[in-house]
Amino acid sequence: MPASTAPQVPPQNVQTDDVQTETPDPTAPTRTRGADTRALTQVLFGRLKDLEPGTAEHHRVRTALIEANLPLVRYAAARFRSRNEPMEDVVQVGTIGLINAIDRFDPERGVQFPTFAMPTVVGEIKRYFRDNVRTVHVPRRLHELWVQVTGATEDLTTAHGRSPTTAEIAARLKISEDEVLACIEAGRSYHATSLEAAQEGDGLPGLLDRLGYEDPALAGVEHRDLVRHLLVQLPEREQRILLLRYYNNLTQSQISAELGVSQMHVSRLLARSFARLRSANRIEA
């Protein structure tokens, strides 16, 4: 189980001073539930920003946000079903990521909350597997036997005042010494070599020092994804004008020459494109 614990499940309905929010009906069609969740999330964030952190009302609205977006956590957790970890543990860890995303989210950035929260939720789950789960998968029987070997080792150490031999552990559990050795080797899969550890014998720097640098453009990934999503909703001609203006860095006069239209018409098309993008962004949010 992870060190942190998931929050208590909040009540189904949350009453604030001027708005009552209800958890979306789980029996409704998926698309309807998704729209209801987005609308509810938008209302709750609008309410949350006006409340003082630490107050009872702030806690209630924040808890409602967590509950409303738990389906997002379960969706992210389902991607890790093949890891053979209890799904409730994975959901619990993902909920921690959801809470962190809620606390850091700024509705005024113009990005939908699921788009913002998903990398945080998935990142928290991946961190859990990296830090708490075996780095090498072992068969279930060997894992269960390893637990018994560990327990027998502790009992024999207490009884004899020293570390037991492989033969003593095997005799205690009535298994072969080869199985004991296999369990001890399997236990090492809980630990991975540090990326910062130097390579033995060759004096080379650790793997971390040989990895690529952090791309400073990563911070703009979510914005580029949002722009791409909105851009495809424009007519093809307006898409081309925007690309010529902001991707090819052409002036309006150069674009007018390229397309065979007046510069004034190019200016009007750009203004109309911006208006459509802003309108689409409000609808998406």
14 — phi, psi (to 5°)?
Answer: -125, 120
DSSP structure class, residue 12: S
Question: In angstroms, how far is CA 181 from the centroid of its own chain?
Answer: 38
Give the Cα separation of 230 and 212 in Å (integer): 32
On the question of pLDDT at 125 being above 70, the answer is yes
How many CB atoms are closer than 10 A to CB 150? Answer: 14
Q: What is the DSSP letter of 200?
A: T
- Total domains, the chain: 3
Nearest in space to 80 (alpha carbons), one of 139, 133, 126: 126
Mean pLDDT estimate for the chain: 76
Residue 217 lies in a domain: no
Contact indicator for 73, 91 with CB cutoff of 8 Å = yes
Q: Does some domain include residue 216?
A: no
Same domain, 73 and 145: no
Residues 128 and 59 both lie in one domain? yes
Domain end residue (candidates: 105, 132, 159): 132
* Residue % of the chain over a pLDDT of 70: 67
Secondary structure (DSSP) of 51-105: S-TTSHHHHHHHHHHHHHTHHHHHHHHHTTGGG-S-HHHHHHHHHHHHHHHHHH-
Helix (H, G, I), strand (E, B) or coil at 13: strand
Residues 29 and 54 in one domain: yes
pLDDT at 36: 77
Whether residue 69 is found in the same domain as residue 97: yes
Question: 246 vs 49, 78, 242, 259, 276, CA distance in Å?
Answer: 34, 39, 6, 16, 17
pLDDT digits (tens, 9 = 90+) for 126-157: 888 766 655 555 666 776 787 788 888 888 88
Q: In CATH, what number is assigned to the domain containing residue 46?
A: 1.20.120.1810
Can you give the pLDDT at residue 73? 93
CATH number for the domain including 168?
1.10.10.10
Residue 202 belongs to some domain of the structure: no
Residues 142 and 125 in one domain: no
* pLDDT in the model for residue 60: 93
Residues 6+ apart with CB under 8 A from 22: 12, 13, 40
CB half-sphere exposure, 166, CA atoms < 13 A: 10
Check: pTM over 0.85? Answer yes or no. no
pLDDT of 242 strictly over 90: no
Q: Both 242 and 277 in a single domain? A: yes
Is 207 contained in some domain?
A: no
Domain span at 48: 13-132
The reply to whether 47 and 104 lie within a common domain is yes
Taking only the tens place, the pLDDT of each residue in 8-60 is 434 444 444 444 444 445 444 445 455 677 888 888 988 888 888 889 999 99
Same domain assignment for residues 99 and 155: no
Average pLDDT over residues 1-11: 41
